[in-house]
A and B are shown apart, each in its own frame.
Chain A
Amino acid sequence: MPRAFNAQITDHMLDAVKGWPRESAVDFEAKFDPAIVQEPIHEGRVAHVNAAGLFGIGAEGHQMPIFLLRASDDFDVNNDGGGKWESAMPHGVASGLVATGAYELQVTEYADGDYAPNDLLTSPSEATVGAGHEAQAGLLYNTKSWHGGDSSAVAAYDIEVCGVVSRGVRPSGHPGISVLAFWPVFIPADER
């Protein structure tokens, strides 16, 4: 779907405050899994690579978290003519920053709440948040406050951790838009 005409490029953001772009930064590109319900998939959401090599939403178990640099409706990812025209380039490939890279990120894609430095962050899948609540998937949470969650704090090895809060929530510099700053980490859930 084309992006809404009154959308702004500041509505959904991922900024790498430190560490990217550098030649040593680790980014990854893939198409989105067509099974993803949320549409569009915003820049800054958490994703993972699924068994088919496609981006799925959220990062659970031992899925390597990837923070999306491009949205599904970005012009360099998708130019959907709805059958009236057909784009050869681009063709659906998005990209993101892999959690093992050395950078500090800030995103608009986090759940409402209070965030303090060193809080652990996680990001649920669409299956975890349940049908009808898919928009919550791929957001960052420091508590399990998504639909169906028990609101307990995110704890290491209980569920996958994909980040640690660095500066917390702060103004993005764009009116009315705040961002959550964090360091990506990868601590898989204890699946033993």
Chain B
Amino acid sequence: MPVETRETTQEVNSRVFAMLDQGRTKEAADVLDDFTRTTMREDGFFRKILPPKQLTDDKIDRMPFTDLPCKVVDKEPGSPAAISIPFATMPQALQIRGPRYVVTLQRIASPRWAADVDKLRTYEMDIRQVLSDNAIKDMLAEEDGRWIEATNRVLVGADTPVPGSGVAQWETMNSAITRAGILDALKVMNRTPSHLETTTILCNHVTIKDVLKWGRDEAGGNLSEDMLNKGWTSTRFMERDWIVTIKRNLVPDSVFMMYGDIKFLGRAYTLEDATMFIKKEAFMVDFFLYETLGATIGHTGAVARADFQQ
């Protein structure tokens, strides 16, 4: 997010208040929308793991039994393995059948907030932030929370086989967060019949400090020194994308949530990205943030979880 000086913040605030004073609530909402959408892209981990695509009207799929929007997505067709056959023998005939899944959409809305516009004028901080901060936190908590719930539902439970793969994809590890332990965790997704590779690791900001403990023997000289001096600065490590969250209520300590490549993992769509509704009556402004969003984990073999010893 760009750093704004006191002057530019005041300019922004003046602009928003001028719009509200003149009843130009649509334009004020547009100013807030830009700010909100940028913040949501940067702060939520769900959107980093499975970035939503914009669903346009002409791409919406329809079903005969509902007028609710959805999107049908093709999965990669599976096929039996090739077999060795003698000469003068024809291969078995099979029809191509591509499985599909549905992404259905839901509206997410923040609480409806109300404020006296003259009280808002007392803020020196960016008024866009004052108006949208709580709403953004609420929306992101819902998005990220739903995503983690869905991940855990796929994984069934610790050390329990997942019906789709027949193997446990949520493993209790025997080790702490060591170099060897992480490499063992990365094998969990490999062991499914789909043999997918983990491309994204999600952990919390307490867990990542166990990686920062790595000395020269595990991390190598320069990296060990950098981690000690600068803390965790990487988004790319061990050839994986790393996402570190402060949401310990969603991602517990010493836990890695692991996801495969987006092309296998699933799809997320926004029909309407985060939009600020704002209404001013006399001196009272009320506002809420809403969006229409859908996300489906299309391939249950593309998620895994490792719980390390603490």
| A75 touching B66 in the complex, CB below 8 Å, given contacts A84-B101, A88-B295, A89-B295 | yes
**A90 B296 Cβ-Cβ under 8 A:** no
Interchain nearest-CB distance for B189 vs A (Å): 16
Residues of B within 8 A of A3 (CB): 65-66
CB-CB < 8 A to B266: which residues of A?
85
Complex: chain A residue closest to B108, CB-CB: A89
CB pair A75 B105 closer than 8 Å: yes
Q: A75-B70, A88-B295 are in contact. Are A83 and B105 (CB under 8 A)?
A: no
In the complex, chain A residues 61-76 whose Cβ is within 8 Å of any chain B Cβ: 74-76
Determine the chain A residues whose CB is within 8 A of the CB of B69 once the complex forms: 75
A residues within 8 A CB of B104?
75-76, 79, 87, 89-90
Distance in Å: Cβ of A28 to nearest Cβ of chain B: 14
Stretch at the interface among B123-131, B148-156, B211-219: B148-156
Flag whether A86 is at the interface (Cβ < 8 A): yes
Among A1-20, those with CB < 8 Å from B are 3-9
Residues 86-111 of chain A, each 1 if its beta carbon lies under 8 Å from chain B, else 0: 11111100000000000000000000
A81 in the interface (beta carbon within 8 A): yes
We find that the number of chain B residues with CB closer than 8 angstroms to chain A is 37
Complex partner residue of A8 from B65, B153, B298, CB under 8 angstroms: B65
Q: How far is the CA of A4 from the CA of B63 in the complex (A)?
A: 11
Residue in contact with B101 in the complex, picked from A76, A85, A90, CB distance below 8 Å: A85
A87 touches B295 (CB 8 A): yes
Q: How far, in angstroms, from A6 to B66 measured CA to CA in the complex?
A: 10
B297 touches A88 (CB 8 A): yes
Residue numbers in B under 8 Å from A86 (CB-CB): 150, 153-154, 296-297, 300
Place the interface of chain A in its size category: 20 to 34
Q: Given A87-B295, A87-B296, check contact A5 B64 (CB 8 Å).
A: yes
User: A8: nearest residue on chain B (CB-CB)?
Assistant: B65
Interface majority SS (helix, strand, loop, mixed), chain A: loop
Within 8 A of A (CB), among B46-102: 46, 63-70, 99, 101-102
Q: Are A9 and B102 in contact (CB under 8 A)?
A: no
CB within 8 Å for A76 and B106 given contacts A83-B163, A85-B266, A86-B300 = yes
Residue of B nearest to A71 (CB): B66
B150: contacting residue among A5, A8, A9, A88, CB under 8 A: A88
List the A side residues contacting B157 at CB < 8 Å.
Answer: none
User: Which chain A residues lie closer than 8 Å to B46 at the CB level?
Assistant: 88
A-chain residues with CB within 8 Å of residue B293 when the two chains form the complex: 89
Mask of B127-164 contacts with A, CB within 8 angstroms, 1/0: 00000000000000001001101100110000000011
A-chain residues with CB within 8 Å of residue B163 when the two chains form the complex: 83
Q: Which of A4, A74, A84, A87 has the most CB of B within 10 A?
A: A87
Residues in chain A near residue B164, CB distance under 8 A:
83-84
A7–B297 alpha-carbon span in the complex (Å): 26
Given contacts A75-B105, A76-B104, whether A85 and B297 have CB atoms under 8 Å apart is yes
Q: Are A88 and B147 in contact (CB under 8 A)?
A: yes
Q: Is B37 interfacial (CB-CB < 8 Å)?
A: no
Chain B positions within 8 Å of A6 at CB level: 64-65
Q: Which residues of A contact B63 (CB under 8 A)?
A: 5, 75
B149 is contacted by which of A5, A76, A84, A91 (Cβ under 8 Å)? A91
Closest to B73 in A: A85
Q: How far is the CA of A86 from the CA of B67 in the complex (A)?
A: 22
Are B149 and A81 in contact, with the CB atoms below 8 A?
A: no
The reply to whether the CB of B107 lies closer than 8 angstroms to some CB of chain A is yes
B70 nearest CB neighbor, chain A only: A75
Decide if A9 touches B65 in the complex (CB within 8 Å): yes
List, in ascending order, chain B residues with CB within 8 A of A84's CB: 99, 101, 164, 300
Interface residues in chain B, defined as those with a beta carbon under 8 Å from any beta carbon in chain A? 46, 63-70, 99, 101-108, 143, 146-147, 149-150, 153-154, 163-164, 266, 268, 293-300
Q: List 11 A-B contacts (CB under 8 A).
A: A6-B64, A74-B66, A76-B105, A79-B294, A83-B164, A85-B300, A86-B153, A86-B300, A87-B150, A88-B295, A89-B146
